[in-house]
Amino acid sequence: MNYFFQDICQEAADECGCDVNEFKDRLGINGKHRDNDYERWSWDQIFMSIAYTVACRSSDANTQHGCVIVDDKNHIVATGFNGFPPGAFDDELPNIRDDGHKYRYIVHAELNAVLQSTQSDLSTCRAYITGAPCNECLKVLISKGIKEVIIGDIGHVTDEAYDNLHSLLTKMHKVQVKHFRGRIADTKNLRYIGQADGESDTTD
C-alpha cells in the first residue's frame, strides 16, 4: 500500500467533504479496478530491447551491435548501430570478417549514437549497449560525460592489456558498467504485421 497516496486521497476527500472510501469508489481507485498480476516492464528492459532491435539495422553480417542513449527523464536522446557512414555504397562494401576489410569502413554503434545525438551535453545520460564497448568507444562515451553504461551479452575478442585499460578507464572516470540481467524482447523471433512479406511501405 502506498501510504503517501492514501494520505492524498484522505486530504482530497476532506476537502470535498465526503468519506474517503466513497471518494475512492467514485474515482475507481479502491483497488477493485486493478490487475495487480500484470507485469509492467522496467525501463532497463525496454531500452535494452530497443538496443537489440536497433542492432538489426547493422551493416555487419557477423556481429550486430546497437546502442541507445537515454537521459535522466527516460527520454531517448539517440540510437546507433555498427554500420557504414551515411551515403556509403552499403551493397558494395565488405561486411564479413574475412581478411579484416570490413573494419576499415564500419563505424561502431556507440560512436554512431553519439554522432546522432540530439543534444551535445550527455552528462545526465546513460547508454544501453548490446555488448561491452571497445576502449575507443568507451573513451568517446567518457568524453561526452556518460557515467552509466548498461551492457548486454554480445562479446568481442580482448586480451589482458585491453581489459586492463578498460578497467583503468572506468575507474579513473568513475563510469559504472553494469551487466544487464533480465528478460528482453526477442529480435530473432519475428512476426509479420500487415504485408505478408514483412516489407514496409515507408521509405528506408
- Which amino acid is it at 137? C
Of 39, 92, 110, 148, the catalytic one is 110
Look at the block and give the residue holding cell 568524453.
143
39 is catalytic: no
Quote the CA–CA distance of 35 and 33 in Å, as a whole number: 7
Quote the CA–CA distance of 110 and 13 in Å, as a whole number: 51
- Which amino acid is it at 187? T
Concatenated DSSP letters of 34-65? --TT--PPPHHHHHHHHHHHHGGG-S-SS---
Decide: 156 and 132 in contact? Cβ < 8 Å. yes
Quote the CA–CA distance of 166 and 114 in Å, as a whole number: 19
Quote the CA–CA distance of 156 and 63 in Å, as a whole number: 9
Q: Is 28 left (phi over 0), alpha (psi -120 to 50) or beta?
A: left
Active-site positions?
110
